[in-house]
Structure 1
């Protein structure tokens, strides 16, 4: 099982050492030069990186479609700003906390990350250090995007951005160092190939803590336990966002192979693509069938979240499963969404986009099922990892949310919430032609 700090140079060196027949017996022997392997490995980081960066657009469109029209500009603003904050914080503190000097411990070192100067990348690393930093950074930004959707329509902009600084600069990289930075969990044998727990559950735990402190949207839950639906502004936008996320996930999972300089590596990347796609497809189909059976109508939002839950579920181990196993893993992700969304409503936990079922609960499922296909993993160690990340992320996030609530405040006023955050927090309405009429829901 590859871990996040694996040197692609080792793969290149192994190929150069072996340089034997790779396929059939009559296949001519060949080997890649160190320079060529370096180029292919770097290219994988860069392609994977810009695909994961494009997921920021997916989150923005998904959230824009799932919130009411009076809050669309706010979600767009939050998503472009959180991505930018994540980039800065991952340079200032994040990368070094996650990868530098962890050595089996609980965190790395403080200080900005230093990219090698022009022409200064040593070939024995196996890839450009700048490409590695960029690829790791976009994962950090994904974690913050998860929180944005859950807390939509009632949180102030600036407290959310302050929390984003803490999440991307400290919470995410410290937790990530435990596994991908060769920290204590990696030493135990914990396995999370591309981040079902390290990225998705971390975002889900932070979102859950925020939702509990922030409370539900006004009017969402009645005194008698009734749930009042608050339909989103645009299902086309939400669907577009889901497809963008699905596309970006091929970079998310595929490039987490971390090397493309050998036949074995590029074949593994291809296998990851197939398994990732099949898990997402199964999540959609299961969600569609279940909502038809349970509600006599198909809920498009459940279908969209079924795709995402399937993707999150396969992310912890997208390489080892067979296609059939991938379908089962992703399909159960779809089951999780259909049952967890109404469960949260019964608990009066208001999650606007369904991020907690998709990223937290499906992320736990994906992490715990890794030993099914990966014999190097154990259910006990996977459980230790899930609990450790949950306690750390939820605990620290809860403290930060409570501090923000007691100092600068978290929630807009009831009047501002009724008018919409586009008008009261942003000043630029997404759909100004709707005015103040009944279309502004």
Structure 2
């Protein structure tokens, strides 16, 4: 039954994609982030859904090429293009296992390439709202289910993600869930009905409960950091502060002793085998990057060969469990510079967006969205310090949102500047200004 439902939904999605490439973008995001086919048990479980939707999207781009927008040229996009090119250099030159590189490279390349392709399509607020909703539904499904499971079991069992995805293990799912909370907050800020705001509050609490129930130490630190920044970047700070200050202590209070014991290892990392293994991997990545400067050892660097040559303790070859040391070990110092630079410039561009839209009441939605993207990036920067998620889709979609939002706001500001006459006639008190704009119908305005 699930296989047939998946086929029906996907068939409708392909049909819509041929009519509008934006549906192909949404379909790609849905398949890549949620992995709904992994919820089926028959032939649909392993069918090449992503490949089919990607092909349909490229056909639609050719058919509707007159409707596409130009790829923006700014620091974020330039570094992203350089990053896409650079991730193929180290695997080609210095890989310890060259025969295994292609599968890892192709997965990362497809994620990054589709972000660039999506920039040709996403051009309106409606598109951004759809994209945010797809991300919220895709990750929120697992967050809500995991939150209910955590509450029902008292946090005695960990929460896991869909098989074969970036968010399969408990730590990765926890970080993804935490990064989705600010997007839910954005939808809540745009809601005009009480039940929508209450539903968003429940969703945020359950997502945080799911992350806590994962027993991920990185997610625990991300929750603390992100909660503060979400309060800092939000309007209506008091209700949010009350929810966070009440919900989080209650979650921590009712978690079992196994959760408390695991969190306590943050302070006693030098007595924890897992933490020591990660530190060993970090030393390995550093030594390798220094030796091969400015290159790295490729996607398969976390293997016995590299550890035998560079590790302080070659007997425990582990993945870096850190986006920073993963980027460093795989792609060298220049790769790390590109990776960090992409998201640093995304953060800066979001800050500029918030300043530009601050004085325009009808662009408050843009300020909200830019701020919540920054909060999501804080979660990624904090929690990702303990996870190997350099190529995880979600942070790159936050980048996509910020770049597209920047273009929308710039276009709106330019149109207003052109609409204002150099010396117009006096206006009647109470009359609307020629540059005033009605609130957007999407999500009910602010």
Q: Shared topology, TM-score over 0.5?
A: no
Larger helix proportion, structure 1 or 2?
2
Structure 2 length-normalised TM: 0.29
Structure 1 length-normalised TM: 0.30
Larger Rg: 2
Greater length-normalized contact order (CA 8 Å, ≥ 6 residues apart) = 1
